[in-house]
Amino acid sequence: MQVVRALFDGHDIKPIETIRTKNKTEVLVIFPNPAEEILPSEARRLFRGSGRGEKLTERLLKSRADDIKYDTR
């Protein structure tokens, strides 16, 4: 996951840093809560497991199957 700082003026998002990507890329934009400052390192920690190659879907399906087994007992 690449983190890029940008400014939002109410209409457009303008990157402060160079965005290094070769192709069109889907992005997720997160607006910080003004009352709560989160460091970029903390934000990355919160996103752990949600990136490509993390097999999130498989882990969620296995967890749900385990829950169903537990609920039927």
Question: What integer pLDDT is reported at residue 23 of this predicted model?
Answer: 84
- Tens of pLDDT, residue by residue over 2-56, are 788 888 888 888 888 888 888 888 888 887 777 677 777 777 777 766 666 667 7
Find out whether 7 and 16 touch, Cβ atoms under 8 Å.
Answer: yes
Domain segments of the chain as ranges: 6-71
User: pTM value?
Assistant: 0.37
- Tens of pLDDT, residue by residue over 41-63, are 777 777 766 666 667 777 788 88
User: Which residues fall within 8 angstroms of residue 12, CB to CB, at 6 or more apart?
Assistant: none
